[in-house]
A and B are shown apart, each in its own frame.
Chain A
Amino acid sequence: MAIRANPKLIEELEPYGAEDVMKCYHCGNCSAVCPFSADPYVFPRKPMRYLQMGLEDKLKGQLDPWLCYYCGECSDQCPREAEPGETMMSLRRWLTSKYDWTGISRLFYRSWRWELGAIVLVAILTAIGFTLFGMSQGSIAHYDGPDAFLPSASIHIFDWVLAGVLLTFLLSNAARMWWFTMGRDKDLPTTLGSYITSAWMLPAHFFTQVRYSKCEHKRSWATHLALMLSYVTMLVLIMFFLTRMASGPEIDWSVHVAGYFATAGLLLGTALFLRNRVKRSSAQYRHSHESDWIFLVLILIVATTGILQHILHRSGLDVAANVAYIVHLSLVVPMLALEVPFSKWSHLAYRPLAMYLAQVRATALARARSGEATALRPGAERTQAHAA
């Protein structure tokens, strides 16, 4: 059956940052210069065409946008200034909003006022909540000890509850991503075996982002990796060693040294990315969506308030340290609760997942092509003949 096109799709993508798609005249330069574009994932020209034609459903099922790391080579060389790199970025934003079943992501990406408003609201609620909780627990004059304002044991429980909620959202969205890109394609002869044999790609790509290093700009990859590893380090410290982190006022070098490295990485990483975006230093930093700014600034101020809290605590200024802690928490909570499942940060899950699924899909397609496709369902051949 013919595909129903959505002529409004291109307008729909505009708030996500895709503004120049119609300029593309399909010379194919972008796909040919892309270091990642290879059979069966040839991009960015093909997704650009899908966009021009309004093939919403096809786009929703594409893994290609996640296989692009936006080195910007395509945009630099584009003869039409059609910004293929930015189009891929916009598609990632759009796909994020499609994977998200709550509709919150769509709201955030289409309007920065909504995103910022939600962050402020959650921040205020968190501040009020923790202040009331603190008053019920102890005295603001004490940072730790039996009369502590915010006892780390309670915060620890809260962290785990928050993590559980976030994971639920993120995993349910990731499941939808799998459904759109793999599950609903009944003719794809995937096997459980290939899901298992390719599973190593998930942690490998998550922790090394090795694919990013194949881009022209190695420095972007290094900065991104440093920022990510810093955050993961901090996350591990907080999730597993919070009580030791919060003890004091003496410095516990066994955990704090890792914390210092992670903090430095966070500050440096965000500062470098912010500088690049302000200076528009290369193609991938020329266009910044509001969500990009919000994300980076949020990490930067979370790190700054964390440092402040740490210094005040070590200086024995318990009241000030508690206030800083409240401020820090009321920024951490919206950063995690809103950015991880609904906004830019969700790519921590979608990117490695996409590379993993792409591998499984490519294996399946190769099997189908080589004629060994025993898993081909009845009726699949007819569909193929139809397509041909």
Chain B
Amino acid sequence: MKIGVYVCRAGGEADDGVNYESVVHYAANLPQVEVVRSMGVMPKLDPEALADEIAAEGLERIVIGGDSPGFFKPAFTRAMALAGREPDEVRLASFRAYGVGGDPATDRAKAIVACAVYGVPFTLAAQPKDTKWNAAALVIGGGIAGIQAALEIADGGKRVYLVERTGTIGGHMAMFDKTFPTLDCAACILTPKMVAVGQHEMIDLLTYSEVESVTGVPGAYKATILRHARRVDEAACVACGVCSDVCPVRVPSEFDAGIAERKAIYIPFPQAVPNAYLVDEASCTYVQTNGQKCGACRKKCPKGCIDLDGHGDVMQVEVGSVIVATGYETLDAARLDRYGYGVHPNVLTALEFERLTNASGPTGGRIVTKTLKHNKRKKVDEWVFDRDGAPPKSVAIIHCVGSRDSNYNAYCSRVCCMYSLKFAHLVREKLPEAECYEFYIDMRAFGKGYEAFFERIAEEGTVIVRGRSASVTEHDGQMYVKGEDILSDSVLEFPVDMVLLAVGLVPAERSDELAAMLGVPRDADGWFTEADYNGDPTGTQRGGVYVAGVCQGPKDIPDTVAQASAVAAKVLEGAITGRGLQSLGSLTLTDIEARAKSLVSVS
């Protein structure tokens, strides 16, 4: 059989680490390959010219190699038909589908081309070897993804180490007021799961801890976990709060997205798991002065469970699988100066509004504008939220802040349209007299029940303006949102009292370090790369390392939970059988070639 190999690239700029010249050279030396062509980036293919070449060279099979060869398949199929050959003999050697991006990318690309030339499915030839499996799993990240995966694995009777960087599990979901589109109370769904994690005999909950290193092979990983000094005995603390009452230090509360303050000894929120206080060493006077000053909390604690001189600890665990569930951060809204975040006091980010509208937030869920108050301690006037502040008469919600924007994040963050609609509902529900405007580019209401939710919001009286607004300005004490309503071709200006910025999602801080530690690639936007976009969305290049939730790409709560459950099933499979697959990357080019050849001779 005479075979032609055509290497076509779809993504010119994305560097997938493949040396295309080397792949072309390699393909030329494969048996039966008559023609090898390097077609460059996004070639304009002429089926008739290709057909002439196919006929002239007598080609019987075409292999298209490249990052996304499916793109070019129609032209080659047509060329084969025109040349009077079997159109089905167009084989794709997709580097992306089989996870090039790992190390070594070029060898992987060569192996993919070789399998296509031999006519053997890559997944069959590159099936990693079976290996013995440790049933325990390490979950990195205690948000809803980590919680769900940990619970399901533990319910399956296997040991889980759940590592969380902050003092409590719960993640972003714990900050939310309601979930879309059902408007369920987020805490009502989440907190029972959190409690279950805290009480589960198969889960070792390691909060205020970080994974320092992961070594070993799939099925037998050794993880070193750094346990930061909590300085409060987690088991003894009853969360009475006396320590916090006497603490003189005030810093912005992370849990309240900075719109309220907490003490240096604090509990992130009342339902935190573990339900114990912790000391923030960066702001604690005692720790910062090496024990010279303060120490008031220790004297007052009725349980005597505060150890301000406590220190961190390092522990090692042995696991078979590692689940990455590190989630996201929101884009820094101050980067877009045209929306005046940080300049105008009543321009809020999505998370700030979640806390403002949340019944457990600083205003008890009242939607109010900020009030100028004198801060006696700092001796400055500050804009702060006050329970008795004036409610806004009109609220603007701006979509796509830093998303779908080549100057910031080119991708769609996927959740913002829906949470923005949810915000509109909450505003109109709590302040029926207030005007509410949504400024959007395209309304992405793609999930089950989402379109109906969108319609409902429109019916509730929210003004939905098509066109992302361009700027937020203030004159004479009145804020204005300016934007084009593209449906009426008019540039409009809306006076508003509050602006909510639907900021996009970005990978969690230090995801790069984690990716390097685990040997798992990330895509150009920084999200962890799954093994196969369609076929294996929870696996990664590395055997036994899985991804769940937003760390793999922006997604909403239902999708996150679904993916976390899927990961649990994968982990349990290895845990129950005691066997699992090695890393895809552990097979060398020679291994794959040999296996492909043997499979050809069998067939």
Contacts from A to B (Cβ < 8 Å): 25-29, 31-33, 37-39, 42, 45-46, 77-81
Residues of A near B406 (CB, < 8 A) are 78-81
CB distance from B144 to the nearest CB of A (A): 30
- From the candidates B338, B407, B482, B491, name the one contacting A39 in the complex (CB within 8 A): B491
- From the candidates B400, B404, B471, B491, name the one contacting A42 in the complex (CB within 8 A): B491
CB distance from A382 to the nearest CB of B (A): 22
B67 at the interface (CB under 8 A from A): no
Residues of A near B338 (CB, < 8 A) are 33, 77
CB distance from B516 to the nearest CB of A (A): 31
CB distance from A264 to the nearest CB of B (A): 39
Judge whether A25 and B491 touch: CB under 8 Å.
no
Can you identify 21 A-B contacts, CB atoms within 8 angstroms? Answer: A25-B404, A26-B486, A27-B400, A28-B466, A28-B467, A28-B483, A28-B485, A29-B483, A29-B484, A32-B471, A32-B482, A32-B491, A38-B491, A39-B491, A42-B491, A77-B470, A79-B400, A79-B405, A79-B406, A79-B407, A80-B405
Residues of A near B408 (CB, < 8 A) are 79
Judge whether B490 and A42 touch: CB under 8 Å.
yes
B483, closest chain A residue (CB): A32
B489, closest chain A residue (CB): A42
Judge whether B441 and A42 touch: CB under 8 Å.
no
Judge whether A28 and B471 touch: CB under 8 Å.
no
CB distance from B466 to the nearest CB of A (A): 8
B245 at the interface (CB under 8 A from A): no
Judge whether B491 and A37 touch: CB under 8 Å.
yes
Residues of A near B483 (CB, < 8 A) are 28-29, 32
A25 with B441: in contact, given A32-B471, A79-B405 (CB under 8 Å)? yes
Q: Given A37-B491, A42-B484, 6 more contacts at CB 8 Å?
A: A25-B404, A32-B483, A33-B338, A39-B491, A78-B406, A79-B406
Q: A227 to B486: give the CA distance in the assembly, Å.
A: 38
Residues of B near A38 (CB, < 8 A) are 491
Judge whether B407 and A32 touch: CB under 8 Å.
no
A25, closest chain B residue (CB): B441
Query: B293-318 CB contact bits vs A (8 Å, 1 = yes)?
Result: 00000000000000000000000000
Q: A27 to B470: give the CA distance in the assembly, Å.
A: 9
Residue picked from A39, A46, A79, most chain B C-beta under 10 Å: A79
Residues of A near B469 (CB, < 8 A) are 32
Residues of A near B442 (CB, < 8 A) are 25
B468, closest chain A residue (CB): A27
A31 with B484: in contact, given A39-B491, A79-B404 (CB under 8 Å)? yes
Residues of A near B490 (CB, < 8 A) are 39, 42
Residues of A near B407 (CB, < 8 A) are 77, 79
Residues of B near A29 (CB, < 8 A) are 468, 470, 483-484
Q: A386 to B408: give the CA distance in the assembly, Å.
A: 43
Residues of B near A77 (CB, < 8 A) are 338, 407, 470
Residues of A near B405 (CB, < 8 A) are 79-80
CB distance from B401 to the nearest CB of A (A): 11
Q: A258 to B230: give the CA distance in the assembly, Å.
A: 81
CB distance from B147 to the nearest CB of A (A): 35
A42, closest chain B residue (CB): B489
Residues of B near A46 (CB, < 8 A) are 489
Residues of B near A37 (CB, < 8 A) are 484, 491
B406, closest chain A residue (CB): A81
B484, closest chain A residue (CB): A28
CB distance from B404 to the nearest CB of A (A): 6
Q: A28 to B399: give the CA distance in the assembly, Å.
A: 13
Judge whether B441 and A32 touch: CB under 8 Å.
no
A45 with B470: in contact, given A26-B441, A32-B491, A77-B338 (CB under 8 Å)? no
Q: A38 to B490: give the CA distance in the assembly, Å.
A: 7
- From the candidates B400, B404, B466, B484, name the one contacting A32 in the complex (CB within 8 A): B484
Residues of B near A32 (CB, < 8 A) are 467, 469-471, 482-484, 491
CB distance from A20 to the nearest CB of B (A): 11
Query: B461-477 CB contact bits vs A (8 Å, 1 = yes)?
Result: 00000111111000000
CB distance from A114 to the nearest CB of B (A): 26
CB distance from A352 to the nearest CB of B (A): 24
CB distance from A343 to the nearest CB of B (A): 31
Judge whether B441 and A27 touch: CB under 8 Å.
yes
Q: A25 to B470: give the CA distance in the assembly, Å.
A: 15
Q: A77 to B405: give the CA distance in the assembly, Å.
A: 9
Residues of B near A33 (CB, < 8 A) are 338, 470-471
CB distance from B471 to the nearest CB of A (A): 7
CB distance from B210 to the nearest CB of A (A): 35
CB distance from B525 to the nearest CB of A (A): 15
Residues of A near B467 (CB, < 8 A) are 26-28, 32
Q: A309 to B40: give the CA distance in the assembly, Å.
A: 53
CB distance from A326 to the nearest CB of B (A): 49
A81, closest chain B residue (CB): B406
CB distance from A23 to the nearest CB of B (A): 9
A45 with B484: in contact, given A25-B442, A27-B467 (CB under 8 Å)? yes
Residue picked from B406, B408, B468, B489, most chain A C-beta under 10 Å: B489
CB distance from A68 to the nearest CB of B (A): 14
Query: B395-423 CB contact bits vs A (8 Å, 1 = yes)?
Result: 00000100011111000000000000000
Residues of B near A78 (CB, < 8 A) are 406
CB distance from A209 to the nearest CB of B (A): 23
Query: B410-450 CB contact bits vs A (8 Å, 1 = yes)?
Result: 00000000000000000000000000000001100000000
CB distance from A26 to the nearest CB of B (A): 5
Q: A33 to B337: give the CA distance in the assembly, Å.
A: 13
A28 with B486: in contact, given A38-B491, A39-B491, A77-B470 (CB under 8 Å)? yes
CB distance from B321 to the nearest CB of A (A): 40
Residues of B near A39 (CB, < 8 A) are 490-491
Q: A25 to B405: give the CA distance in the assembly, Å.
A: 11
Residues of B near A26 (CB, < 8 A) are 441, 467, 486
Residues of B near A42 (CB, < 8 A) are 484, 489-491
- For the complex of A and B, list the 4 residue pairs with the smallest distance between their C-beta atoms, beginning with the closest: A28-B484, A28-B467, A32-B470, A79-B405
Q: A25 to B408: give the CA distance in the assembly, Å.
A: 16
CB distance from B493 to the nearest CB of A (A): 9
Q: A227 to B12: give the CA distance in the assembly, Å.
A: 42
CB distance from B499 to the nearest CB of A (A): 15
A34, closest chain B residue (CB): B491
B469, closest chain A residue (CB): A32
CB distance from A87 to the nearest CB of B (A): 16
CB distance from B400 to the nearest CB of A (A): 7
Residues of A near B484 (CB, < 8 A) are 28-29, 31-32, 37, 42, 45
Q: A38 to B466: give the CA distance in the assembly, Å.
A: 17
Query: B29-54 CB contact bits vs A (8 Å, 1 = yes)?
Result: 00000000000000000000000000
CB distance from A175 to the nearest CB of B (A): 29
Residues of A near B404 (CB, < 8 A) are 25, 79
CB distance from B335 to the nearest CB of A (A): 13
A23, closest chain B residue (CB): B406
Q: A1 to B491: give the CA distance in the assembly, Å.
A: 28
CB distance from B475 to the nearest CB of A (A): 16
Q: A46 to B485: give the CA distance in the assembly, Å.
A: 11
Q: A233 to B466: give the CA distance in the assembly, Å.
A: 49
CB distance from A88 to the nearest CB of B (A): 15
Residues of B near A25 (CB, < 8 A) are 404, 441-442
Residues of B near A31 (CB, < 8 A) are 484, 486, 491
A32, closest chain B residue (CB): B470
Residues of A near B486 (CB, < 8 A) are 26-28, 31, 45
Residue picked from B406, B408, B466, most chain A C-beta under 10 Å: B406
Q: Which of B107-146 contact A (CB under 8 A)?
A: none
Q: A32 to B471: give the CA distance in the assembly, Å.
A: 8
Q: Which of B44-71 contact A (CB under 8 A)?
A: none
Residues of B near A28 (CB, < 8 A) are 466-468, 470, 483-486
Q: A25 to B410: give the CA distance in the assembly, Å.
A: 13
Q: A32 to B483: give the CA distance in the assembly, Å.
A: 5
Residues of B near A81 (CB, < 8 A) are 406
Q: A37 to B483: give the CA distance in the assembly, Å.
A: 11
CB distance from A282 to the nearest CB of B (A): 15
